[in-house]
Structure 1
Amino acid sequence: MISFDDRHGPEDAAPPAAYPDLSVPDWYRDAKLGVFVHWGLFSVPAWADVLDRSDVTAQNAYARHQYAEWYANTVRIAGSPTRERHERLYGVGYSYEDFADDWHPAPDAAAGIVDLARRAGARYVVPTTKHHDGFCLWDSATTPFTAVRRGPSRDLIAEIADAVRDAGLRLGLYYSGAHDWHASEFPALTSNDELFALRRNDPQFAAFAAAQLRELIERFAPDLLWNDIDWPDAGKYGGPDSLQELFRAHLAAVPDGLVDDRWGVPVHGVLTREYQDIAEVQEEPFESTRGLGLSFGFNADESAEHALDGTALIRLLADVVSKNGNLLINVGPRADGSIPALQARALEELGEWLGRHGAAIYGTRPWFHDAVRVPPEGVRFTLGNDADGHAVLHALLLDPTAGPVTLDDQVSVAIREIAREPGRDGPVSLTPDPGERGVAVVTLPLR
């Protein structure tokens, strides 16, 4: 897995001191749950090769890419299952960009997507404004390759942004800073090395990317700028189109704004971890992101065997939050904007659970203690407050059906150091509500 915060360069680009303060704001740390929305041209073919992953290797992983939103790249790889299927269904002369005229979202699509995010308990929503294919979902003056000028004939980001703000949620915007396959002539990417090597770094492209990002900042004032992969190297020096000036413009528009870590510079906002399991409590806030299935964009061939159900999603949220993270869980709408039932059910179950146990998630902080740096099996902890504002330690039991959980001596002693005595010495036993689905919460008052 790639950790993007490890990637810095070029060496002679602007130093850390040239950038503004990118500290993670409290609103984000309190939010805990966001919904990513991968919706675009890739939602029309809605396919990636996932039926049999047993023979996927480092050598063929890009030809067998599991992300449906990578269709525009995978279809260009000779012999790939995507290329073979595309030519069979659409014909040899039909290009990926022809989907731009065949995409017709439903009139109420944006409202439906955001309403599901709200019901899931999300506190922020992050739609893709432009993925690597270069198709802009807002009314950009930089290119005619937009949703306004092609099939949808609408500013889809404006619709989503309005719905997000009407729902009282925070708005994030995803932007592909490193890749725009519509505006470049590189061959298809076939490896992680090429992911970073085959990208434009010239001043013209840096200015193009800066103009697009500036449009998004000025038009939508996003709370979170979520860039992907990297940023054109020519934009990492000084000048009005430099990345540090774009960050300043963002923070001027949104003083408590936030950026992620995928810019390829020696500073970052929130760390991102994609489809990664984090083993222990982290000192620095991070954001765990993944699809409900194997892909971010909708893949019509995914089924329940590939996807998180409601219980698994609740457990994932509890695990991530307990380790100092936010969960940015993705939905991949169909081309018309509807959310497949498999995804909707899991999110609705999560929302129902948060309706009962949100106090153990929202606004909490991780419990830092040597004994629980790696949490005990089946138990996660968060620090928060009860309804009266008193400090509490929440123990989240990942499998309530297993019955009471007795913690080992080291963890039990650590709990007794900060909690009011349950009444006796010895191991601490945590008993879940036997009727609880997903994750049970046992709240221990603190001194």
Structure 2
Amino acid sequence: MADTLNITAVSSSFDLVKAGTLTRLHPGQSAIVQIGVKNKAGVAAGTSCSGVVTATWGTAYGPPITSTETVSGSCGFGDYTADANSLSLHRSPDWFNEAKFGIFIHWGLYSAPAYGSVAPNEDYAEWYWKRMNDPTFKTQTYQYHNATYGKNFTYDDFISNFTATNFNAESWVNLIAAAGAQYMVPVTRPPTNPYTGAVETYTGFVNVSDFIQDIQLPQQNVLAYNYDTEIMWCDIAGSANNATIFASKWINWARDQGRQVTFNSRCGIAGDFDTPEYRTNGGTVPRKWETNRGMDPFSFGYNYRTPDSRYLTGKDIVQTLVDTVSKNGNFLLDIGPKNDGSIPAIMQQGLQDAGKWIHAHAESIFKTRYWSVTPGLNNWRYTTTQNAFYIHYLTTPSGTITTPDIIPYLPGDTVTILGGSMDGTAVPVTWNSDGTLSLSVSSALQASDKFVWTFKLAYTSTW
């Protein structure tokens, strides 16, 4: 049996619950290993403490190699307080980090007009209420609204058009499951308003803090406590919020129930994860992040002006997911149902096509970790687990392809194709003197899959 790196910890303040292990680590490379500890009886959460961490490397070829280091910090977290510094210690939970793929849903009154113009003047369709009052905005929503509905047709008049006659919650959930998504984030209300900058008659002063305390915070509490929400996805960054009050109470409450919840970086404080919009990161980002975008090229809400040819395809979704996961990100993909509650056929097709690939390659996506060395170059991406290393190739492979990076391969490891019609088939490889790995791709193997070709390197060597 090959050697394994074992990580343990000893302290007068905590007990080791689960040791950490690492199956493969090449010279010059690094990895993140988690261990589980629990405070001893009588040691309160948040108590300052110290311990000795020991790393032991194998015994198969002689005496074990051992390294120790004394560490100090807080043993467990006490109650989070309504303070940004306290909440900065909170991290996105493992379940969220491992879920990788979620579905965003923008469905509201804006789905009735469903207008956001087209390129190069397109804009978020869910901002219709604001744009319909601005005669100078590039989408010409103001002009479109007056010509289509008339100047006296208010935003509230769209209520009668928001029929939901074809809404079926079960079909939505079934589609999301077929797509391979592990969570969903329905939008309760977008950050839109009809303000145009025009001078209005004075009607009395209402302190902004009254709105935050009397409306915004209670609405967040309803979502958090009445619906067992696990993700609070805000879009209210800035000073106009009570994020510290809300988040501290919510996190403490959920923890006492044995649940782990998380919130994003747009609630007014740093949050647990960042949220780049309509873009991904160019490289690995150690802090957790989640890219979000619509299947529409520039809208979250449904925009009837967008031609089918511009929606994300199954291939687009899969390649974005693989790229994102390899860099420590999650992918939150939005769908915009129509006013009648139906999901456009072009969106359904893209999700179903992507889902077939995702389900067939699930082990290389979900519950994986990014490779801390590099996410990969050009058409190459990597993900890892305790016992395997996954090589993703983002275009159709042909002949012999060679990794641009030194791969954690040892003679005796098995390399197979993952997914497709040849799932589990051995792939001939050559371990090169520079540490790279060459894979021989037959024409049959090339034709066996689509979107992304994934090779599974299983750590089976006893070398």
Q: TM-score, normalised by structure 1?
A: 0.72
Provide the residue aligned with 1:376 in structure 2.
Answer: 377
Question: Which of residues 402, 405, 408 in structure 2 aligns to 1:406?
Answer: 402
Contact 1:39 1:332 in 2 (8 A): yes
Give the strand-richer structure, 1 or 2. Answer: 2
Tell me which of 434, 437, 444 is aligned to 2:446: 434
Partner of residue 351, structure 1: 355
Could you list the per-position Cα deviations for residues 87-113 of structure 1 after superposition, in whole angstroms to 9, with x for gaps in the alignment? 111110001122123211036432222
Counterpart of 2:217 in 1: which secondary structure?
helix
Structure having the higher Rg: 2
SS in structure 1 at match of 2:156: helix
Give yes or no for the alignment of 1:112 onto 2:179.
no
User: Which residue of the partner structure matches residue 51 of structure 2?
Assistant: none
In the aligned structure 2, how far is the partner of 1:41 from the partner of 1:264?
A: 26
C-alpha change, 1:252 and 1:46, in structure 2 (3 Å) is farther
CA contact (8 A) 2:167 2:340 kept: no
Amino acid at match of 1:77: D
Q: Specify whether residues 264 and 205 from structure 1 end up closer, same or farther in structure 2 by C-alpha distance, changes over 3 A only.
A: closer
List per-residue Cα deviations over 1:408-443 (Å, max 9, x = no partner): 3xx1x3434799495543442234531211111011
| Conservation of the 8 A alpha-carbon contact between 2:230 and 2:261 | yes
Runs of 4+ in 1 over 6 A off after TM superposition: none
Q: Output the CA distance in 1 between the equivalents of 2:299 and 2:228.
A: 28
Q: Provide the alpha-carbon RMSD of the alignment.
A: 2.8
Deviations 1:72-125 (A, max 9, x none): 111111134111111111110001122123211036432222211111001101
- Structure with the bigger percentage of helix: 1
Shift of 1:232: 5.3
In the alignment, structure 1 residue 213 sits paired with structure 2 residue 214? no
**Aligned 8 A contact 1:223 1:254 in 2:** no
Q: Is the 8 A contact 2:274 2:290 kept in 1?
A: yes
Q: Pick one of 108, 129, 132 that aligns with 1:40.
A: 108
> 3-state DSSP class of the match of 2:381?
strand
**8 A Cα contact 1:47 1:68, kept in partner:** yes
Deviations 1:151-178 (A, max 9, x none): xxxxxxxxxxxxxxxxxxxxxxxxxxxx
Which residue identity does 2:437 align to in structure 1? V
Alignment match, 1:226: 233
Which residue is 1:289 aligned to? 292
Question: Equivalents in 2 of 1:18, 1:335: separation in Å?
Answer: 42
Query: Measured at CA, do residues 401 and 416 of structure 1 come closer, stay the same or move farther in structure 2, by a change above 3 Å?
Result: closer
1:248-267 deviations in Å (ceiling 9; x for gaps): 445556721111110222x3
The number of equivalent residue pairs is 350
Query: Quick check: 394-403 or 360-369, which moved more?
Result: 394-403
The residue number in structure 2 matching 1:444 is 457
8 Å contact kept, 1:35–1:124: yes
Query: 5+ unaligned residues in a row in structure 1: which ranges?
Result: 1-12, 54-63, 134-180, 190-199, 386-390
Matched, 1:301 2:305: yes
For residues 402 and 334 of structure 1, what CA distance do their matches in structure 2 show?
42
SS in 2 for 1:323: coil
Kindly indicate whether the alpha-carbon contact (under 8 Å) linking 1:217 and 1:253 is maintained by their aligned counterparts in 2.
no
What pairs with 1:30-429 in structure 2 (closer than 5 Å)?
Answer: 30-50=98-118, 52-53=119-120, 64=121, 66-80=123-137, 81-106=140-165, 108-133=167-192, 181=193, 186-187=195-196, 201-230=208-237, 233=240, 235=242, 243-249=247-253, 251-252=255-256, 255-265=259-269, 267-293=270-296, 294-369=298-373, 372-373=374-375, 375-384=376-385, 391-402=387-398, 404-408=400-404, 411=405, 413-416=406-409, 420=413, 424-426=431-433, 427-429=436-438
| Rounded Cα–Cα distance in structure 1 between residues aligned with 2:209 and 2:154 | 27
Residues in 1 aligned to 2:432 and 2:220: alpha-carbon distance in whole angstroms: 59
Q: Give the Cα–Cα distance (whole angstroms) in 1 for the partners of residues 221 and 412 of structure 2.
A: 50
Quickly say closer, same or farther: Cα 1:242–1:317, change in 2 above 3 A.
Answer: closer
Cα displacement (A) at 1:402: 5.0
**Aligned sequence identity (%):** 26
Give the Cα–Cα distance (whole angstroms) in 2 for the partners of residues 41 and 283 of structure 1.
38
Q: Is the partner of 1:274 in helix, strand or coil?
A: coil
Q: Are residues 401 and 20 of structure 1, via their aligned partners in 2, closer, same or farther at CA, if it must alter by over 3 Å?
A: closer
- The structural deviation recorded for 1:187 is 2.8
SS of alignment partner, residue 328 of structure 1: strand
Structure 1 residues 256 and 27, CA gap change in structure 2 (3 angstroms):
same
SS state at 1:206 partner = helix
Offset, 1:268: 1.1
User: Which amino acid in 2 is paired with 1:440?
Assistant: W
Unaligned runs of 5+ in 2: 1-80, 199-206, 415-428
